[in-house]
């Protein structure tokens, strides 16, 4: 199988010592690295974006296999720092995180992501937790799978449908879950 391109996304707060990242992402990243896949990710200097970039560069993954997608504003803030690392920097048209994330979905072949379960989110956010809130990470998954924002899907479904080239199995699974 030819190398694929993974879009890495996840929460902007990965907890003390990046525990969320280290609990959920390394096995997926290591498998992708072993397949010689390339990676696209966002520019945030914290959370999964930052944790994943550090992980990839320390592995080490050649910087040429890593592309950071940025808006023009993000490029003016952080672009030079990324270029100094030797990674590719792609400036997207549009100035929103939605524009940037949609461009990463289009430029990649699969997702490496995880969203918090309801219980994890309640524990993390306390009184700030909102039922039914759709995170940008979940939006990335929905964009890839074609699941609309108005359809209720639990984290267990999102987190259980990850992987490369699941094709028909994934569609049958989603169809059952969504009653299609």
Q: Is the pLDDT of residue 12 over 90?
A: yes
Name the token pair of 93.
């048209």
Q: Is the pLDDT of residue 169 over 50?
A: no
pLDDT score of 179: 52
- Rounded distance between C-alpha atoms, residue 75 and residue 69, angstroms: 9
Q: What is the pLDDT of residues 118-160, one digit of tens each?
A: 999 999 889 999 988 899 999 999 999 999 988 888 898 888 8
Question: Token match 């096995």: residue?
Answer: 27
Q: Is the pLDDT of residue 1 over 80?
A: no
- Rounded distance between C-alpha atoms, residue 37 and residue 33, angstroms: 6
CA separation (Å) from 21 to 15, 64, 74, 76? 8, 23, 23, 27
3-state secondary structure of 100: helix
pLDDT score of 174: 47
Q: What is the phi/psi pair of residue 68, to 5°?
A: -100, 125
pLDDT score of 166: 41
**Which residues pair with residue 6 across a beta bridge?**
39, 110
Q: What is the pLDDT of residues 37-93, one digit of tens each?
A: 999 999 999 999 999 999 999 999 999 999 999 999 999 999 999 999 999 999 999
Q: Is the pLDDT of residue 167 over 50?
A: no
Q: Is the pLDDT of residue 177 over 90?
A: no
Name the token pair of 172.
């049958």
Name the token pair of 129.
């937790």
Task: Give the long-range contacts of residues 82-85, CB within 8 A, separation 24 or more.
Answer: 82/43, 85/53, 85/57
């Amino acid at each position: 199988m030819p190398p694929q391109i993974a879009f890495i996304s996840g929460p902007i707060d990965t907890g003390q010592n990046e525990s969320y990242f280290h609990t959920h992402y390394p096995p997926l990243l290591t498998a992708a690295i072993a397949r010689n896949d390339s990676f696209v990710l966002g520019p945030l200097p914290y959370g999964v974006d930052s944790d994943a970039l550090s992980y990839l560069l320390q592995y080490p993954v050649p910087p040429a296999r890593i592309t950071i997608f940025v808006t023009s504003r993000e490029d003016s803030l952080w672009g030079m720092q990324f270029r100094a690392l030797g990674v590719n920097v792609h400036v997207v048209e549009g100035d929103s995180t939605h524009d940037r994330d949609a461009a990463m979905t289009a430029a990649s072949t699969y997702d490496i992501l995880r969203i918090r379960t309801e219980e994890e989110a309640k524990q993390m956010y306390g009184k700030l937790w909102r039922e039914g809130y759709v995170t940008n990470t979940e939006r990335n998954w929905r964009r890839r799978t074609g699941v609309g924002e108005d359809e209720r899907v639990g984290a267990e479904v999102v987190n259980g449908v990850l992987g490369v080239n699941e094709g028909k199995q994934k569609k049958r699974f989603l169809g059952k879950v969504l009653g299609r």
